Amino acid sequence: MITTKIKFRYIKNKLKDSTQNIEILFDKINSLIKKHNNLKSENLEIKNKIDFLKNQNEKLVEDLRNSKLNYQSLKIGKFLESDGKQYVKKRIDKMIQDLDFCISNLSS
């Protein structure tokens, strides 16, 4: 009978410890679930931010492309307005003379 009482107490203590362990495990699982959900929402925010920054980067690249084209046009315009204008006129006149010469040779 004494051994039975001792066994019963031992089993009762083990069950009590098991219940505590289960509660601790349950709390840890809940904590991990909360952390997981927080990380999921943080991940979603970061993905959205990445998409936003990609779009912004594409717009900036397009603006840069347009600015480069405008700069090239401005350089050409400034070149034509400067002393180079005379040089360009002479080259065009020379090309026209060469074309006239070729046409007259073809006609004869």
34 in a structural domain: yes
Cα–Cα nearest to 31, from 39, 19, 20: 39
92 in a structural domain: no
Structural domains of the chain, count: 1
54 in a structural domain: yes
Give the global pTM. Answer: 0.50
Range of the domain at 17: 2-82
Asked if 51 and 59 touch (Cβ cutoff 8 Å), the reply is no
pLDDT tens, per residue, the chain with 108 residues: 555 656 666 666 666 767 777 788 888 899 999 999 999 999 999 999 999 999 999 999 999 999 988 888 887 777 666 666 677 778 888 889 888 888 877 776
Rounded to 5°, angle at Cα 76 from 87 and 65: 160
